[in-house]
Every structure is written in structure tokens, then in C-alpha cells.
A = this chain, B = another copy of it.
């Protein structure tokens, strides 16, 4: 896992414009936002799904960093004063604090463009029609019926009573869409999976998307700011509905365990080629930060 994370880090560093090139401050902010931190869960999922489809790791790397660039841009915008107004991310000042709001806005915008530029690299996969499909998939997972839409629902929900189905709908968009895209993009870099295989992989990814959020909520309620590298206890302070506030800590932990089990069941028909996906399910649920 450490090796994969290092590979992602160096691929991200290579994909981003050098901070010595104009506009320097913008490039500096983009690199600051993306490099030197993060668990790289989405890239790890893309690699694990790539192994399932015997994909060339060099190709998966490009798909993986495209997803990670989308994720990174969303964090930059999410932290801004108009949204979550957060000052700490991955143990460092957030981009608008370290630079300024206008630069944070533009850096996020440019990171989104860069994600599509990376994924639209000529010859990324053998069949260009598959590549177009991958681009369409990343775009729809990022947009108003995906990640950005989930953030909009999240914003509207602050201070309002939210029932479990609405909370789930929000997270399916906000976190789930991009996590599903990670797995699907990784797999699309390799041999063509049949419909049954795709359905199982997608179900696994849905479980992981929800589990990731449930565990995040548990950790936010539980852990200290130093361990998380971002402001802890923020959800409760901002009166945001979470799995913990709706279900209680014990039931939220239990739910995460059920989603992990469900993910393993979804992979039941696969052999050793799904081993990495199984390990990742365990990591996502059992992690402590």
C-alpha cells in the first residue's frame, strides 16, 4: 500500500505544471493542494480494481490520479469560507488560508480541468471508445448528479433534521459517486469484465463508498484533531447530521462492519485477483484515521 501511495504521489507531481512556470502562484497552490498528504483511498481502489481486470498499472496510475485530482479540487473548494470554512487539512493550513480565496477558487477550477486532461491523454487505453466512456463516467460522477450535487445537499442540510434515507442519498452522491468511479475506471483500464462481474464490482464499490463515510463520521466523533490532521468534532459543532448523530456511535460502528461483510460477499465469485479489493475493504473499515 505504501508503494502504491508513493507511486501516486510521484505521478501526481509529474502531472502537475511546475511551480516555476507562469502563473506561478496558481501552480504553487495547485501543488500545495494535491501533494504531500492524503490516504489516496480512491487511487488505491482504482489499483485494486485494475488488478481484478489484469490492467497495466501504468494505465491505472493515470486513471487513479485523474480521480484524485477531482477529489483534491473538491477539498479545496469545500474548505473555503463560503462552504465549510475550514482552516486545517491534512495537518496543514487550507489553500485559501495559505494563499488567498481567489487563488483557492482558481486552483480548484484548474485541478478539475487537469483531471480531464490527464484522463484524455491520447492512447491511455487501447480502445478510444472505452476512453471516451471513462471520461463520461468521471464527469458525471463529479457533477451535479454526483459529487457536487452531494455537496449541495450537504449544505442545505446543515441545521435541519435529516432522516437516514436522505443522509444516505447525500453520501451516495457526495462520496459514493467518486469512489464508485474509482473502481470502475480502474477496471476499465484492463480486460473487459462481463456484466455479472461489473455488477459485483459496482456493488462492492457502493458498500465502500458508504462504509468510508460511516467510518469518517465515527472517527470525527471519536478522534482528536492531531490524529485526523483536520479539525475534529466539527460535525457536531456545526450541527451537521451524521451517521453517529442519527444512529449513535455503537450502531454506526456496527453498520460499518456490515458494509465490510457485504463487500466481501460481493467479491465471493472472484478468486485471488480480488485479494487487493478485499484487503482494501478491511483497511477502509478498520482504519483509525
Residues of chain A touching chain B, judged by Cβ–Cβ distance below 8 Å, are 17, 21-23, 25-27, 30, 73-74, 77, 80, 82-83, 100-106, 108-110, 112-114, 116-117, 120-122, 124, 127-129, 131-133, 135-136, 138-140, 142-146, 148-149, 151-153, 155-156, 169
* B101 and A113 within 8 A (CB): no
CB within 8 Å for A144 and B23 given contacts A128-B128, A133-B122: yes
Are B133 and A135 in touch, CB under 8 angstroms?
no
Counted per complex, copies of this chain come to: 2
List residues of chain B with CB within 8 A of the CB of A109: 73-74, 77, 108-109, 112, 142, 148
What residues of B have a CB within 8 angstroms of the CB of A77 in the complex? 105-106, 109
Say whether A148 contacts B116, CB under 8 Å.
no
Residues B105 and A149 in contact, CB atoms below 8 Å apart? no
Cβ B112 vs Cβ A155 within 8 A: no
Assess the B140–A117 pair: CB atoms within 8 A.
yes
Closest to A73 in B: B109
Given contacts A132-B132, A135-B135, 20 further A-B contacts (CB under 8 A): A23-B149, A23-B153, A26-B149, A77-B106, A82-B102, A103-B152, A106-B151, A110-B143, A113-B142, A113-B146, A114-B139, A114-B144, A116-B116, A116-B138, A120-B133, A120-B136, A120-B139, A122-B132, A122-B136, A128-B128
